Structure 1
């Protein structure tokens, strides 16, 4: 069957002497593997459109249970800057890696597609990469059914006096329940506001936010610990980001 879709390249792998296999994320079909014959060749009409992060129109032939075969493609947004800048590339890679590993094959989601598309554009436009990443992580938690409780105490339901975040218990804790998790992460009011906002916020509406470094540090601690406890995946791209942070690259 011939399919015509918009898609974002999540992975691009060399195959054989001159071919590439790409993993496309599309709104209707979810993740789809497509063979692009001759795409490794410099003069190939498919060389540019099969690069990582590329957003474009793709036409491919696919039979049920088989890999697709690319017929034609047109670039809508090449995202050159995401591949050329080390920090942009690392954070954009984390977005596509989460999408690739947390969505099942042919599991479509127009909403997640739009969030990923907006997230890549936000990074390229120079918006705070850490905030973009945390916002998208929250979308992934929601998709996986592990959205943390952030609008009340996860233990007693109290909505006031929230002072910490417990990855193990699944959300925020009030002062009275703080003792229930010795490993809970202390959070300030600004951090709590963002944790409440992220589940409801659409990436497409993200502006040029200014967040204090202290708040960003608390957010990072909360989101990374929560990801490790509830998703438990060793993210290659996040590991690279952490190495850059460690050596102040």
Structure 2
């Protein structure tokens, strides 16, 4: 049976001498794997559409769990993301989040739109670290661990100084700081950004400037939440860390 799907390539791997298996995140069907026969041949009509980050339309013949690509059309190649090392590293982290955390065949059109918008944002030179933080927050939501940031998780206080408790899953007010000896003391601007991440639609992300110190706090906190609640080793994150050390 033939299926026509719109999707973004989130993983591409060689299979045998001439073939590839790609994973795509589709608009209406969630994450799917596709066999692409002959994709490694020099004259293959499928060689370009199997490139990671490619947004395209895929027609596949499917009789079992994995379909076979029959036709394809590239809608957006995102070639710039693959050719620029900096952009490629951040984009690889975004698609690996989707690949590793979102369940197979779990349809979520809004998440497809967020993935599409995140790649477009990175390609248009919007701050990739902020894009990653927003996507990490969305992954926490999908996994059922969205932090409580609007009020103290212990006493429900809304005002005053707040800190982040990873183990308790959100903010603690100053009166409750004693309940977590590993509490993150954060600035008001950092908390404001974290709250913004929970509401942000990446399709509406404009030019945003964040102080370096705030970005450092955001990175530490989001990584702590991801490590504590999801705990998945991501190859792209290791590469980003190495790249940051080299740039320093």
TM-score (norm 1): 0.97
Q: How many residues align?
A: 248
Which residue does 1:167 correspond to in 2?
166
Aligned equivalents of 2:134 and 2:161: distance in 1?
21
Q: Which residue of structure 2 aligns with residue 74 of structure 1? A: 73
Displacement of 1:248 in angstroms is 2.3
Q: Cα deviation per residue 1:65-114 (whole Å; 9 max; x = unaligned)?
A: 43100011111110111111111111111111110111111111101100
Aligned residue number for residue 33 of structure 2: 33
Q: Once the 2 structures are TM-superposed, how far is the Cα of residue 164 of structure 1 from its aligned partner?
A: 1.3
Distance 2:60 2:238 in 1: 34
- Give the match for residue 133 of structure 1: 132
Aligned ranges 1:144-163 → 2 under 5 Å: 144-163=143-162
Instruction: Return structure 1 stretches of 4+ with deviation > 2 angstroms.
Output: 246-249
Partner secondary structure for residue 168 of structure 2: coil
What is the SS of the residue equivalent to 1:11? strand
CA RMSD, Structure 1 to Structure 2 (Å): 1.0
CA separation in 2, counterparts of 1:118 and 1:51? 18
Query: 1:25·1:113 contact (CA, 8 Å) conserved in 2?
Result: yes
Find the counterpart in structure 2 of residue 101 from structure 1: 100
- Residue 159 of structure 1: how far off its partner (Å): 0.7
CA contact (8 A) 1:185 1:221 kept: no
Q: TM-score, normalising length from structure 2?
A: 0.97
The answer for unaligned runs of 5 or more in structure 1 is none
Q: 2:247 is matched with which residue? A: 248
Shift of residue 29 of structure 1? 1.3
Q: Is the Cα contact below 8 Å between 1:162 and 1:172 reproduced in 2? A: no
Write the distance in 1 (CA, Å) between the matches of 2:150 and 2:128: 25
